[in-house]
């Protein structure tokens, strides 16, 4: 079965650079979620989109922005990167916003030097 696809899988950036993470949800899933997992921590919710509209917002820095496109894929844009942004970034998708099961991608490991 098709799973959530994230690219790139690994990314190394310098401080103050920008990064773009991409997420391709499971076919027919209309809701996308972004989570950040720091070293030794549990995943923290950043932002979600339903039918291309932002539906919920968590602890996402103002330096970060995201959107969902007409084909339901999503991109997380991160600017003015800081050392503390180094983490594993997960995208998840579900069908609908209600009690749907969230399926997670393999993650993008971002390292900021």
Partner 1 sequence: KQEVTQIPAALSVPEGENLVLNCSFTDSAIYNLQWFRQDPGKGLTSLLLIQSSQREQTSGRLNASLDKSSGRSTLYIAASQPGDSATYLCAVKGGTDKLIFGTGTRLQVFP
Binding site for partner 1 (CB under 8 A): 31, 33, 35, 41-45, 48, 50, 55-56, 58, 88, 90, 92, 97-99, 101-107, 109
Q: What is the dihedral of CA 64, 65, 71, 73, to 10 degrees?
A: 10
- Sole residue written with tokens 């979600």: 48
Record the tokens describing residue 21, joined without a space: 């993470």
Cβ within 8 Å of residue 71, ≥6 positions away: none
Smallest gap from Cβ 16 to partner 1, in A, equals 26
Cβ within 8 Å of residue 42, ≥6 positions away: none
Smallest gap from Cβ 62 to partner 1, in A, equals 18
By beta-carbon proximity to partner 1, the closer residue of 16 and 57 is 57
By beta-carbon proximity to partner 1, the closer residue of 78 and 87 is 87
Smallest gap from Cβ 94 to partner 1, in A, equals 9
Q: Which of 1, 5, 2 is nearest to 107 (CA)?
A: 5
By beta-carbon proximity to partner 1, the closer residue of 72 and 90 is 90
Smallest gap from Cβ 54 to partner 1, in A, equals 10
- Sole residue written with tokens 């971002």: 110
By beta-carbon proximity to partner 1, the closer residue of 86 and 102 is 102
């Amino acid at each position: 079965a098709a799973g959530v696809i994230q690219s790139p899988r690994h990314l190394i950036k310098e401080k103050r650079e920008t990064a773009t993470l991409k997420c391709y949800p499971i076919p027919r899933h209309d809701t996308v979620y972004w989570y950040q997992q720091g070293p030794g921590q549990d995943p923290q919710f950043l932002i979600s989109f339903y039918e291309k509209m932002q539906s919920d917002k968590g602890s996402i820095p103002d330096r970060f922005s995201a959107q969902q496109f007409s084909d339901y894929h999503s991109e997380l844009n991160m600017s003015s990167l800081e050392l503390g942004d180094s983490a594993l970034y997960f995208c998840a998708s579900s069908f609908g916003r209600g009690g749907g099961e969230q399926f997670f991608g393999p993650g993008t490991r971002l390292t900021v030097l």
